[in-house]
Copies of this chain bind each other. A is one copy, B any other.
Amino acid sequence: MNLQKEFTAAIVIIGNEILSGRTVDKNTSFLSSWLNDKGISVEEVRIIPDKEKVIIDTVDHLRRTFGYVFTTGGIGPTHDDITSESISKMFSQKYQYHQEAYKILEKYYENQDFNEGRKKMAKMPEKAKLIQNPKTFAAGFYVENVFVLPGVPSILQAMVVNLDKLILSGSKILSASIDTSLRESSIAQELEEIQKKYKDVDVGSYPYFKEKPGTVLVMRSTNKESIDLCEKEIRLLVKENIINS
């Protein structure tokens, strides 16, 4: 399955709490599923620490390599939130208050202390465009093909609706899956033959070991006819092997 660059994406999870194992990342699977549904294929995910140079180097490389880059984390009010400033530097843009973002926050905090930390959430690269946050009012933003989102999963998920119209839609990536009690090693060779035959289908084989072992065979493609034929052949292969086992 080959996709044009414009329909590819990378995700950058920024945060020491994920690297230390303290917090389990939930944003990758959410964003990946959402992007897949739009026909955008996630080609790489990187989890990196809150370090300016690492953020700049990582995002700069990925934005040149893929159609879209989505970052999560590091846009809050505290000293360890350095994503927005790092992205400003990466684009060689001033890191300054975004007027609209500032007004939204000022209103939100009208009966509380609108302190430096809270104001900081309105600071962005000078050419940033807002991604509205319906939940806590601290907006995300985007510059060119880099989309900067918060790390808290519930907030990120609430904001995605405002991202929808900003992202191209590619050809829908179709998928089919077959869950079988067969061990993948018993059909490895025949499966490879089928993969070779259907070059525009990605055939994946994923063993699992729950109460009983088994395998999930997954096909992915943007070509409906190919994936249907491929699925048919694999179903037949599985059936024959179950009878013979």
A residues sitting closer than 8 Å to B (CB atoms) are 13, 15-26, 28-36, 41-50, 54, 76-81, 112-113, 115-118, 120-121, 135-136, 152, 154-155, 173, 175, 184-189, 191-192, 195, 202-209, 218, 220
Contact = CB atoms under 8 A, between A and B. Distances in A.
A29 B24 contact: yes
A76 B207 contact: yes
A20 B78 contact: no
A240 to B, nearest CB: 14
Contacts of A17: 204, 206, 218
B116 A80 contact: no
Oligomer: number of copies: 2
B22 A218 contact: yes
- For A79, A81, A135, A154, the residue with the greatest tally of chain B CB atoms inside 10 Å of its CB is A79
Smallest CB-CB A-B distances: 7 pairs: A117-B188, A21-B32, A21-B33, A79-B192, A45-B47, A77-B185, A78-B205
A185 B76 contact: yes
Contact of A20 (B50, B154, B220): B220
Nearest to A80: B204
30 contacts: A18-B29, A19-B41, A19-B43, A20-B173, A20-B175, A21-B31, A21-B35, A21-B36, A21-B42, A22-B218, A23-B206, A24-B26, A24-B29, A25-B28, A44-B46, A44-B47, A45-B47, A76-B184, A78-B188, A78-B191, A79-B195, A81-B205, A115-B186, A115-B189, A116-B188, A117-B184, A117-B188, A120-B188, A152-B207, A155-B209
A75 B34 CA distance: 28
B77 A184 contact: yes
